[in-house]
């Protein structure tokens, strides 16, 4: 089997053409058989076939795959054409080896989405689901197993501590070690973040979520735009209906703390809408639908975050960490107020004693009674 890659000429040629989403009304009127059994070529694509497909998509855009082979003069089924385009010929595909950062992202995303390769691919610019799936099965899975980590559950295959890495040479493994260390030591800062996120999560109501989905809202995209032309077209359409396509622009977002906090306190009773967008929010934040559901339904002060929303496992927590690290923490005892940059705080030991006393649009107030029965509190400005 001879595989050849699209030439630079092909790619640059493609980039010079706008790709329009194609909706062929005629093909809906007169339907053609799904796949002709005879005369269809299978196997590796030739350069000539690639060229035909590229030229066709340049002029007609993606879509209409069923009728594309005939129109483009290809002896292939539409499915094969779509796959060839999506996995190989598309101009925005990044080829070559996966970086450590990409591998780490894949592992993180796999922990959230499982074998939802398309969902993972949407968050990795230029990588296809097929490529990620292959890389996972041939490389990452083996590395995790070698380290004693179950690729399915992302948990250690061994019991007890200190069982981890024999291979400290990669960032992936370093991160895994850090992660294990955090878990085993029960990092106080992680617990703080969990508590804060828990309280923040409680305040996220459906109007905030609808803001997020409707107009970009308080969440700002910074990593991965939709990768295909059709997705770009969809995501910029004027549809007011919440959709995964709209959300693609907001995935892997940074949280804009000010706008988030200013909009998270309004109320609404439209729970139906809430249900419809749980899946989307799950994608965006890394919180499970179950957790989000609990966030909505619980009003008790002792609400606890679920395991899957802990620091190591969610993009949300990572973003929250970034916010807190870039902000300041105030330490005050009665009328004595000290302001300390959060990243200069030596330790969060004792943070378990704190209660999330209040959340305003600007601050999260943590308070506790110390051993001397003095009231102490920490206020994180958001």
Partner DNA sequence: AAATCGCCCAACCGCAGGACA
Partner DNA sequence: ATGTCCTGCGGTTGGGCGATT
Measured from the CB atom, is 142 or 155 closer to DNA? Answer: 142
Query: Which of 7, 15, 36, 44 is in the footprint of DNA by CB under 7 A?
Result: 44
Residues 208, 316: Cα–Cα separation, whole Å: 15
Applying CB under 7 A, the span of 124-132, 247-255, 285-293, 313-321 interacting with DNA comes to: 124-132
42 makes contact with DNA (CB under 7 A):
yes
Return the closest-CA partner of residue 76 out of 64, 252, 84, 376: 84
Give me the 295-314 binding string for DNA, x by CB under 7 A, dash otherwise.
--------------------
Query: Which of 54, 57, 61, 64 is in the footprint of DNA by CB under 7 A?
Result: 64
Strand (E) or helix (H) holding 153: none
Measured from the CB atom, is 206 or 232 closer to DNA? Answer: 232
44 contacts 1 by C-beta, under 8 angstroms: yes
32 makes contact with DNA (CB under 7 A):
yes
Phi/psi of residue 340, each to 5°? -125, 130
Applying CB under 7 A, the span of 116-124, 153-161, 163-171, 182-190 interacting with DNA comes to: 116-124
* Binding residue count for DNA, defined by CB under 7 A: 46
330 makes contact with DNA (CB under 7 A):
no
229 contacts 62 by C-beta, under 8 angstroms: yes
340: helix, coil or strand?
Answer: strand
285 contacts 320 by C-beta, under 8 angstroms: no
Return the closest-CA partner of residue 285 out of 310, 244, 253: 253
Applying CB under 7 A, the span of 109-117, 188-196, 210-218, 267-275 interacting with DNA comes to: 109-117
Query: Which of 13, 119, 310, 356 is in the footprint of DNA by CB under 7 A?
Result: 119
CA angle 207, 210, 212 (to 5 degrees): 115
Measured from the CB atom, is 57 or 311 closer to DNA? Answer: 57
39 makes contact with DNA (CB under 7 A):
no
28 makes contact with DNA (CB under 7 A):
yes
User: Strand pairing partners for 339?
Assistant: 330
Measured from the CB atom, is 124 or 359 closer to DNA? Answer: 124
Q: What are the start-end ranges of the H helices in the chain?
A: 8-15, 25-29, 47-60, 68-72, 78-84, 100-113, 117-121, 129-135, 141-146, 171-185, 188-203, 206-215, 229-235, 244-248, 257-263, 271-285, 289-297, 315-325
Applying CB under 7 A, the span of 71-79, 159-167, 268-276, 346-354 interacting with DNA comes to: 71-79
94 makes contact with DNA (CB under 7 A):
no
Least separation in angstroms between residue 309's CB and DNA is 22
156 makes contact with DNA (CB under 7 A):
no
75: helix, coil or strand?
Answer: coil
Least separation in angstroms between residue 80's CB and DNA is 3
Query: What is the torsion angle, in degrees rounded to the nearest 10, for the CA atoms of residue 286, residue 357, residue 342 and residue 202?
Result: 10
Residues 57, 82: Cα–Cα separation, whole Å: 10
Least separation in angstroms between residue 238's CB and DNA is 16
- Size (the chain), residues: 382
Query: Which of 83, 111, 125, 356 is in the footprint of DNA by CB under 7 A?
Result: 83
Query: Which of 102, 131, 176, 319 is in the footprint of DNA by CB under 7 A?
Result: 131
Give the footprint of DNA on this chain (CB under 7 A): 1-3, 27-29, 31-34, 41-45, 63-67, 76, 78-80, 82-84, 86-88, 115-119, 129-131, 133-135, 137-139, 142, 230
């Amino acid at each position: 089997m001879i595989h050849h890659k699209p030439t630079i000429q092909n790619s640059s040629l493609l980039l010079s053409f706008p790709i329009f989403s194609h909706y062929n009304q005629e093909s809906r009127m007169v339907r053609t058989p799904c796949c002709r059994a005879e005369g269809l070529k299978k196997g590796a694509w030739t350069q000539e076939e690639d060229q035909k497909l590229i030229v066709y998509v340049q002029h007609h855009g993606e879509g209409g795959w069923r009728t594309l082979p005939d129109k483009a003069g290809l002896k292939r089924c539409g499915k094969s054409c779509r796959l060839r385009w999506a996995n190989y010929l598309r101009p925005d595909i990044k080829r070559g080896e996966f970086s450590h950062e990409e591998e780490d992202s894949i592992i993180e995303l796999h922990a959230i989405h499982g074998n939802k390769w398309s969902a993972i691919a949407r968050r990795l610019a230029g990588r296809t689901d097929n490529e990620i799936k292959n890389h996972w099965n041939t490389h990452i899975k083996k590395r995790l197993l070698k380290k004693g980590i179950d690729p399915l559950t992302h948990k250690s295959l061994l019991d007890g501590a200190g069982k981890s890495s024999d291979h400290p040479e990669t960032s992936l493994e370093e991160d895994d070690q850090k992660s294990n260390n955090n878990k085993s030591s029960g990092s106080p800062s992680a617990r703080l973040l969990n508590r804060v996120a828990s309280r923040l999560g409680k305040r996220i109501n459906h109007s905030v979520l609808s803001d997020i989905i409707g107009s970009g809202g308080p969440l700002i995209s910074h990593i991965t735009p939709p990768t295909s032309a059709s997705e770009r077209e969809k995501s910029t359409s004027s549809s007011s209906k919440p959709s995964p396509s709209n959300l693609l622009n907001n995935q892997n977002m940074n949280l804009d703390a000010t706008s988030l906090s200013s909009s998270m306190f309004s109320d609404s009773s439209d729970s139906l809408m809430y249900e419809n967008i749980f899946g989307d929010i799950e994608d965006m934040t890394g919180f499970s639908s179950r957790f989000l559901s609990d966030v909505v339904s619980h009003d008790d002060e002792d609400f606890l975050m679920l395991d899957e929303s802990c620091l190591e496992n969610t993009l949300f927590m990572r973003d929250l960490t970034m916010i807190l690290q870039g902000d300041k923490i105030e330490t005050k005892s009665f009328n004595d107020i000290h302001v300390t940059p959060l990243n200069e705080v030596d330790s969060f030991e004792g943070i378990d004693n704190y209660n999330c006393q209040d959340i305003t649009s600007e601050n999260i107030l943590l308070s506790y009674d110390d051993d001397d029965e003095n009231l102490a509190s920490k206020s994180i400005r958001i």
